[in-house]
Amino acid sequence: MEIVHVDTKLRREFGPPALFSDRIEELLLDLHPDPSLAAQFIQKTHRDQAVQACRQMSEHQINTERFQSNSCGLNHVEGGWPKDINPNEMEQTIRFRKKVEKDDGYINSILQLGSVMEHRIKQNNSIDIYQQYFDEEEEVEEIQEPPSAKTINVFRDPNELKRTITGLSWHPDGGRKLAAAYSCLEFQKTSRNTSLDSYIWDIENPNHPEVTLKPASLLVCLDYNPKDSHTLVGGCYNGQIAYWDTRKGSQPVEYSSMEHSHRDPVYKIIWLQSKTGTDAFSASTDGQILWWDVRKLSEPTERLVLDPSREGNLDRALGAISLEFEATMPTKFMVGTEQGLVVSCNRKAKTPAEKIVCTYDGHHGPIYALQRNPFFPKNFLTVGDWTARIWSEDIKESSIMWSKYQMSYLMDACWSPVRPSIFFTVKMDGMLDIWDILFKQSDPTLSLKVCDKPLYSLRVQDNGRLVACGSQSGEATLLEICSGLSTLQKNEKSLVAAMFERETKREKILEARQREIRLKERSRSEQSKDDETGREDDEEDSEQLIAKVESDFYSLVEAEFRRRQRREETPQEHNKEVKNGVETDETEDETGETRK
Amino acid sequence: MAEVEETLKRIQSQKGVQGIIVVNSEGIPIKTTLDNSSTVQYAGLIHQLVLKARSTIRDIDPQNDLLFLRVRSKKNEIMIAPDKDYFLIVIQNPSA
């Protein structure tokens, strides 16, 4: 469509037509420059000045919309036939093919490719190049790294006066919490200011204990209930048993009554397997083992006096220091005593006399730790004096395996719950030893110095990787063991079983031999009295020897005493002889005592 | 011409060989011992595979080139010998 603009004007408004004519020019104005005006101006120096005469622009950035591209393949069903050939027509395709076949390039290619291909085909036919070799050894053995353990956390006693950690217990579900019992076991070392609290620590938070337990007297030991992770039972220094429920606060829910409790500190308390899940038993150096039902702590449900003569005589009872209970054998338990005996007891015996089944004598000092191997319950570990010993239940005369005498006292030990050949011990010099009996029996596989103070207690968490140890200064150190020591190796169980069997057999043979020798001697003595007296002489000789040594000792002491008296009376002679004195004195002395 | 036939016959007579296909660079099957539908299927699919393989090798190192391609499957093995203009495809069952 054309756009048209129309202007209209009346003819009479136009006016007359314009008539143009020439005219002579006239000068209207002629203005000349006035030089005097220049005096009012100063000539300026030349200066360069840039001038830009262009359009002003501003800078902008823009992002174009992303171009979405998708890669996909095209499937030619019928490959790219040239345009003129219709793929459906047989004749055309055949003709095309024939043409290609005549091509030189084609011939050469095929000949060359053919030879290559033949080679490969023959290769395939001769051997199976895809055969799986080394099928069985598919698992690559990890590089055996040296065993190690590293400290993860240290939980310190928040009180001023540090107390020893004498008992540790891991939380039963997953072990995220550690309960530690703090007490002072040294006789009369507790001052009035010593705090009585014991703590439950969350292992992630070493700064502040999660729960504080406030007993009436220092807690020597405590144990989490494996069935109910909120309840704990603890044994106090004054012999009472206290029962806590962490949901109910820091104060114990119940205490056992004073009259029926132990007379000595309760050294160990363990929960039992029962239908109600409320049974525990405790041991103390007063010679009693008491069974409790935590719902009614006023009186123990059962009592056992550790009298080796089986008479229940409290005076002759052995003081118990450690207890052992394995959930898989609920009627049997073992007690480690101060005198170095391990007493194996049967709870279900009809008469109290039969409760004590047998004793194992092996240590020279109190047995501080006693635990059955979680994989081989017939073998148990004891720790006392300066050695750790492994026993078999069948052999009562001696332990089947033992470590050599260590440099310091061993205070606690436990088996690793995941590996039957590993156990841990702690010593008075602050060292934690990890023993692997399959690897080395004479020395610990790994020795770590945890702290400078003696370590009193040790507990391994159920996963076998975390170990907590408590020291005299109230520090609980949490260590993580390297995976090599906490994962079950192949054949380990069978190897350990074989080792225990071997050692047990050895002991049995030795025992049998001993019995034989004794029988022979006895039969020989029956034949002739001389032999008998000879045997007695031998025995007496040992007594005589002791008497002789004693008298020798006393005579030497008296001789020395007399000599000293003489010297005091004649100091001058002594001074003259001082120079020669040393030599002569040495020659005089039989025992080689050096004079100061 | 005759040599070509001879070569192909020799290959065909090897143990376990199930079929041979000669494909040109555009994917057209020139010579085959299998039936038409299988040939067409093989030619189309393998052609793309070879092109992809070749371009992969050359992308990684432009001086390099694809020499031979073996595709081993549970039932058989497909061997492809590529050339500038043609490929030779052989399907073999080695255990047979």
pLDDT band of residue B69 (cuts 50, 70, 90) is very high
Mean pLDDT of A451-473: 88
pLDDT for res A589? 44
Question: Coil, strand or helix: which one is A562?
Answer: helix
At B43, give phi and psi (nearest 5°): -60, -50
Residues A234/A244, Cβ–Cβ less than 8 Å? yes
Helices and strands (H, E) in chain B, number of each type: 2, 5
Pull the structure tokens for residue A156.
Answer: 């310190």
> Do A109 and B15 make contact, defined as CB atoms within 8 angstroms?
no
One-letter-per-residue 3-state SS of A424-443: EEEECCCEEEEEECCCCCCC
With contacts defined as CB-CB under 8 Å, which chain B residues touch A121? 11, 14, 16-17, 79, 90, 92
> Do A75 and B48 make contact, defined as CB atoms within 8 angstroms?
yes
| Cα A64 to Cα A362: distance, rounded to the nearest angstrom | 88
Residues B77/B71, Cβ–Cβ less than 8 Å? yes
* Alpha-helical segments (H) within A154-223: none
Instruction: Look at residue B34 and tell me whether its pLDDT is greater than 60.
Output: yes
Please list the helix, strand and coil fractions of chain B in percent, rounded to the nearest 5, in that order: 40, 30, 30
Nearest CA in chain B to A81: B28
Partners of B88 in the β-ladder: B22, B81
With contacts defined as CB-CB under 8 Å, which chain A residues touch B44? 75-79
Mention every residue, 6+ apart, whose C-beta is less than 8 A from residue A435: A388, A403, A422, A423, A424, A425, A444, A445
> Do A120 and B48 make contact, defined as CB atoms within 8 angstroms?
no
Among residues A358, A356, A342, the alpha carbon closest in space to that of A394 is found at A358
Mean pLDDT of B57-79: 89
Residues A199/A209, Cβ–Cβ less than 8 Å? yes
Among residues B15, B74, B32, B51, the alpha carbon closest in space to that of A74 is found at B51
Of the candidate ranges A181-185, A251-255, A508-512, A591-595, the one whose mean pLDDT is the lowest: A591-595
pLDDT for res A531? 54
> Do A118 and B26 make contact, defined as CB atoms within 8 angstroms?
no
> Do A100 and B24 make contact, defined as CB atoms within 8 angstroms?
yes
Mean pLDDT, rounded, of chain A? 82
Using the structure block, give the residue that is written with the tokens 């006292």. Answer: A409
DSSP annotation string for A218-263: -EEEEEE-SS-TTEEEEEETTS-EEEEEGGG-SS-SEE--TTTS-S
State the greatest distance between any 2 C-alpha atoms of chain A, in Å, as a whole number: 187
Nearest CA in chain A to B23: A79
Residues A201/A210, Cβ–Cβ less than 8 Å? yes
Whole-model pTM: value is 0.56
Q: Quick check: A111 contacting B, CB < 8 Å?
A: yes
Nearest CA in chain B to A97: B30
Q: Tell how strand A288-293 and strand A302-305 pair up.
A: antiparallel
Region label for A397, one of left (φ > 0), alpha (ψ between -120 and 50) or beta (otherwise):
alpha
CA atoms within 13 A on the CB side of A428: 11
Partners of A360 in the β-ladder: A342
| Cα B60 to Cα A544: distance, rounded to the nearest angstrom | 96
pLDDT 10s digits, A93-148: 888 888 888 888 888 888 888 888 888 888 888 877 777 776 665 555 556 677 88
Residues B8/B32, Cβ–Cβ less than 8 Å? no
Q: How far is B57 from chain A (nearest CA, A)?
A: 18
With contacts defined as CB-CB under 8 Å, which chain B residues touch A105? 85
Q: How far is B47 from chain A (nearest CA, A)?
A: 9
Mean pLDDT, rounded, of chain B? 87
Pick the CATH number of B16-92 from 3.40.50.1370, 3.30.450.30, 3.40.980.10, 2.60.40.420: 3.30.450.30
Partner residue facing B92 (CB), from A78, A79, A121:
A121
Using the structure block, give the residue that is written with the tokens 């008298």. Answer: A551
Mention every residue, 6+ apart, whose C-beta is less than 8 A from residue A269: A221, A222, A223, A233, A234, A235, A241, A280, A281, A282, A283, A323
Partner residue facing A113 (CB), from B24, B48, B88:
B88
With contacts defined as CB-CB under 8 Å, which chain A residues touch B40? 77-79
pLDDT 10s digits, A521-567: 998 888 765 555 555 555 556 788 888 889 999 999 999 999 988 88
Of residues A24 and A83, more confidence is placed in: A24
Q: How far is CA A216 from CA A243, A250, B68, in A?
A: 12, 11, 86
Pull the structure tokens for residue A490.
Answer: 């192949």
| Cα A316 to Cα A359: distance, rounded to the nearest angstrom | 15
Question: Coil, strand or helix: which one is A547?
Answer: helix
Instruction: Look at residue A170 and tell me whether its pLDDT is greater than 70.
Output: yes
pLDDT for res A572? 55
| Cα A485 to Cα A464: distance, rounded to the nearest angstrom | 9
Pull the structure tokens for residue A369.
Answer: 């730790």
Residues A432/A408, Cβ–Cβ less than 8 Å? no
Instruction: Look at residue A296 and tell me whether its pLDDT is greater than 50.
Output: yes
Cα-Cα end-to-end distance for chain B: 31
Mean pLDDT of A23-45: 87
pLDDT band of residue A571 (cuts 50, 70, 90) is low
> Do A117 and B44 make contact, defined as CB atoms within 8 angstroms?
no
CB contacts under 8 A, A 403-442 vs B, are none
Q: How far is A120 from chain B (nearest CA, A)?
A: 8
DSSP annotation string for A203-221: TT--SS-SEEE--SS-EEE
* Burial category of B50 from C-beta neighbours within 10 Å (exposed 0-12, middle 13-18, buried 19 and up): buried
- Mutant choice from A77, A124, A129 vs B, greatest count of B C-beta within 10 A: A124
Pull the structure tokens for residue A243.
Answer: 């029962």
At A323, give phi and psi (nearest 5°): -125, 155
Instruction: Look at residue A298 and tell me whether its pLDDT is greater than 80.
Output: yes
pLDDT band of residue A573 (cuts 50, 70, 90) is low
pLDDT for res A140? 58
- Mutant choice from B37, B59, B70, B86 vs A, greatest count of A C-beta within 10 A: B86
pLDDT for res A137? 58
Partners of A369 in the β-ladder: A383
> Do B7 and A124 make contact, defined as CB atoms within 8 angstroms?
no
Instruction: Look at residue A245 and tell me whether its pLDDT is greater than 70.
Output: yes
Among residues A185, A183, A176, A210, the alpha carbon closest in space to that of A197 is found at A183
pLDDT band of residue A584 (cuts 50, 70, 90) is very low
Q: Which amino acid is at A203?
A: I
What is the ipTM score, two decimals? 0.81
Q: How far is CA A35 from CA A27, A29, A30, A38, A42, in A?
A: 23, 19, 16, 5, 13
> Do A109 and B85 make contact, defined as CB atoms within 8 angstroms?
yes
What's the sign of the alpha-carbon dihedral B18, B24, B30, B35? positive
Question: Coil, strand or helix: which one is A254?
Answer: strand
Instruction: Look at residue A76 and tell me whether its pLDDT is greater than 60.
Output: no
* Alpha-helical segments (H) within B32-76: 36-60
Instruction: Look at residue A433 and tell me whether its pLDDT is greater than 50.
Output: yes
At A106, give phi and psi (nearest 5°): -65, -45
Supply the DSSP symbol for A480. E
Among A355-369, A467-481, A527-541, the range of highest mean pLDDT: A467-481
Mention every residue, 6+ apart, whose C-beta is less than 8 A from residue A225: A172, A231, A232, A233, A271, A277
Using the structure block, give the residue that is written with the tokens 């099957």. Answer: B29
* Alpha-helical segments (H) within A294-334: none
Q: How far is B61 from chain A (nearest CA, A)?
A: 22
Of residues A184 and A311, more confidence is placed in: A184
b/e per residue B22-40 (b: at least 16 CB within 10 A): bbbbebbbbbbbbeeeebb
Residues A283/A321, Cβ–Cβ less than 8 Å? yes
pLDDT for res B80? 92
> Do B4 and A101 make contact, defined as CB atoms within 8 angstroms?
yes
Mention every residue, 6+ apart, whose C-beta is less than 8 A from residue A149: A432, A434, A446, A448, A467, A479, A480, A481, A482, A485
| Cα A88 to Cα A90: distance, rounded to the nearest angstrom | 6
Partner residue facing A110 (CB), from B7, B16, B72:
B7
Of the candidate ranges A3-7, A143-147, A214-218, A233-237, the one whose mean pLDDT is the lowest: A143-147
Would you list the domain boundaries of chain B? 16-92
Instruction: Look at residue A588 and tell me whether its pLDDT is greater than 50.
Output: no
